[in-house]
Amino acid sequence: MAKDKEIGTSPQADHSIERDVIGTAISLQGQLLVASPHMDDTRFAKSVIMMCQHDTQSAMGLVINKQASNLKLVDIYEKLEIGTPRFAVSDPVHIGGPVESNRGFVLHSQDHMLPESMSITHEIGLTSSVDILRDITNGTGPCHSIVSLGCAGWSAGQLDREMSENVWLNLPASADLVFTYDRETLWQKAFDLIGIDPAYFASTAGKA
C-alpha cells in the first residue's frame, strides 16, 4: 500500500496494543515511563515518555512533558506549506526526544484515526502522516493531540536493562494523563500515582 507524505517515521515494529511477553519481560507499549530522580542524561531529566512500541528488536516512545521554547504549530504548518491554519495555531510543539529530531509524530485520541494510524492503547493513537496535521488545522482532527518533533529510541534489550537498573519507573497511560494534565507538574503527578516520593527514591537509589 502506498504511503502518504509523512511528517515522521517510527522504527519498524509490531504496534499491537496487546502487552506481549518479551522473553521474561513485559512489553511497555501503552505505559508511561517516568524518569527516576537520579537520571544522569540531562535530555531526559524529569521526563515522562509515552511508550509507543517495545519488542525484542527495539523500543520507541515520545516525551510528552517537554515543549519547544520558540516553536508553535503554526510554524510547522508554514514549513510544510500546508496552508493557512484555521485552528490550533498557537498550540505548542513538543520535543519528543533526540532521535530523528527533524521528523514529526502526532499522539492523539482515537476519535480520529487515519488508515495509517497505529493504536497504542484503546484510547491513544499515533500518526506520522501530514494529513492529520491538515485535519487538526481544519478543525476535523482528533479532540486531543500532541505534535512532537523527534522521539526516544532504544536498541534491542537496552530499555529492559535500564528498567532493571531503576532508570525508569512505569505506570499505565491514560488519555487524561497524556493529553490534559498540566505538563509542568506531570512528572510529580506520575510519582504520586505510583506511590513513591521522588526524594525518598533518590536517597535510596543504588542501595542494596
Instruction: List, for residues 34-46, the tens digit of each pLDDT value.
Output: 999 999 899 999 9
CB of 49 closer than 8 Å to CB of 33: yes
| pTM score | 0.85
Residue 200 burial class via C-beta count within 10 angstroms: exposed 0-12, middle 13-18, buried 19 and up: exposed
Helix, strand, coil percentages, rounded to 5, for the chain: 25, 30, 45
Q: In which residue are the cell numbers 527495539 written?
A: 58
Q: Which residues of the chain have pLDDT under 70?
A: 1-25, 202-208
CB of 63 closer than 8 Å to CB of 78: no
Which pLDDT score, from 0 to 100, does residue 31 have? 97
Superfamily of domain 22-201: VC0467-like (3.40.1740.10)
Which pLDDT score, from 0 to 100, does residue 202 have? 60
> Angle between the 130-138 and 73-80 helix axes, to the nearest 10 degrees?
120
Residues near 166 by Cβ (< 8 Å), separated by ≥ 6?
Answer: 36, 205
Alpha-carbon distances of 28 from 19, 62, 81, 117, 163, rounded to whole Å: 7, 13, 36, 19, 10
Q: Give dist(CA 171, CA 145) in Å, integer.
A: 20
